[in-house]
Structure 1
């Protein structure tokens, strides 16, 4: 029996969170993932015969579209200015209790950067199999390969991911409490607390894409990071800046906004062994638009500099 147009639309909407989550993990871009999902809908809507399994059909289509986008994106990233990070994601749209751990583990910035090291096919097979639990026969049909080849790809990808797997404190609530203490200390200018919360070899690094003020290759070491944060935060607060603690890519983090609520940057924190190991900031305005209206970072810098002038 043919599904009605309304029936297809309802099935697609029910599967949209899954499709987006697959595509985002392949592309590291919320905007491109949304485009891939929309293209998948157009192709689904255009087929004459109803697929036996809309989930299998749409997952295959969005994966193929994402692989094509990923191959072209890799060439662009070779010319990217400075450090490249995935677009920050504030919420995981797809929830599946059976794969909750896999979903959480592969959403962090650290894990997505590890996925970048895989070939497009390895990445697709790993995401479909290890994260979402698709059977190998469906994966093979999706990527146009044999089941045996897909098993090899999955094994190789799993090995690469395990070798570089990020270290996070197991207790999620403990990470959240530590992040809360960090942002409180940052707001209050509590230098001593900042020093105790940051690892000795902490790395603060930003993705500006050359479109926002940059910290070079980043700051290394607790002493240097504390010094930078202690210098920047009072000026940021003085011009009305707001730090809004918020989960970013499944890890503790924050959204920084100007006095009008415009998005300046997002931070995500890697926490292990009771300390913050890495702070990843995304300041490239082209990667923040899906969160909300974006501030002009250069204007923020000018405001800060004007406030520092004698007599201001």
Structure 2
């Protein structure tokens, strides 16, 4: 196998590692590209290309995450990962770990970990690397990595969401939710929402966003019903799509540009959390991005005309 062929075979795994550490599609792609440059520039072939490249992309990602920490601490409003439409890496033996770890809820929890804890958790818990490989990747002893994993697991399990197992059931619920959204059906929406549901948006100060999370089935249903039918009137479309392995939707303006994504956490037949990403910086990998401010103005103008 040539170097290029070896690398391309491992690219899905490398991206999936980097994305879970970084929570950013663009930064993960850059980390994978940097790993290729280091592999290509190496005069000797490693004994295990997989181990070498996984360790390389992990170290690059840790460095990027450390430099990103300050930016995230100064971030305006809630921070969510860049929405991932599909995970390129699949492993039937680890399908549960892979699906759980890529959800918005899990990635938000991972933000609480130090960069080293996060890397150790991702390599060991999610991808099943041996402690010797994890230690080599993060530059710590195996004993230190075991301690890092214990701490990381404790943090993750304290807030770990539990998701509905049946995919068909989640998708059917999401479909009913989007129908009720289009129609502005408050009662229909309320039936689908958990009593303590939360609606949270990530605009990063660069798009219209909620001042704070909205809590409770009635409040969330009324807010959604007061906004989304008006968006439909100005030809905003709701396209059902899996977001980070969970049911959700991509919202587009009349020209097909991406306005925002919405991901739904489903448990016990109800929607527990609704996470919307509208920050334009986080949507460019999906396609051309809409002007959310312009859409917001048009919705408000349409409502004023209706009142008069």
Task: Report if the CA contact (8 A) 2:206-2:280 is conserved.
Answer: yes
Give the gaps of 5 or more residues in structure 2. none
Task: Give the one of 286, 289, 312 matched to 2:284.
Answer: 289
Would you say how many aligned residue pairs link Structure 1 and Structure 2? 307
* Secondary structure of the corresponding residue to residue 261 of structure 2: strand
In structure 2, the partner of 1:81 is 76
1:27 is aligned to 2:22: yes
Rate the CA distance shift 1:115–1:310 in 2: closer, same or farther, 3 A.
Answer: closer
1:113 is aligned to 2:108: yes
| Separation (CA, whole Å) in 1 of partners of 2:35 and 2:204 | 29
Task: Report if the CA contact (8 A) 2:184-2:226 is conserved.
Answer: no
Quote the offset at 1:308 in angstroms.
2.6
In structure 2, the partner of 1:103 is 98
Give the TM-score normalised by the residue count of structure 2.
Answer: 0.97
Quote the offset at 1:190 in angstroms.
2.4
Task: Report if the CA contact (8 A) 2:197-2:217 is conserved.
Answer: yes
| Separation (CA, whole Å) in 2 of partners of 1:52 and 1:12 | 14
1:199 is aligned to 2:191: no
* Secondary structure of the corresponding residue to residue 68 of structure 1: helix
Task: Give the one of 67, 78, 83 matched to 2:62.
Answer: 67
Give the gaps of 5 or more residues in structure 1. none
Quote the offset at 1:200 in angstroms.
1.5
| Separation (CA, whole Å) in 2 of partners of 1:99 and 1:234 | 41
Rate the CA distance shift 1:164–1:309 in 2: closer, same or farther, 3 A.
Answer: closer
Quote the offset at 1:284 in angstroms.
0.2
1:167 is aligned to 2:166: no
* Secondary structure of the corresponding residue to residue 305 of structure 2: coil
User: 1:208-287 maps to which residues of 2 (within 5 A)?
Assistant: 208-287=203-282
Task: Report if the CA contact (8 A) 2:31-2:57 is conserved.
Answer: yes
| Separation (CA, whole Å) in 2 of partners of 1:135 and 1:215 | 43
| Separation (CA, whole Å) in 2 of partners of 1:271 and 1:128 | 27
Quote the offset at 1:261 in angstroms.
0.5
* Secondary structure of the corresponding residue to residue 102 of structure 2: coil
Deviations along 1:225-272, one digit per CA (max 9) or x if unpaired, are: 111111112210111010001000000000000011100000000111
| Separation (CA, whole Å) in 2 of partners of 1:218 and 1:148 | 40
Deviations along 1:198-235, one digit per CA (max 9) or x if unpaired, are: 11111111000000001111211111111111111221
In structure 2, the partner of 1:190 is 185
| Separation (CA, whole Å) in 2 of partners of 1:255 and 1:79 | 27
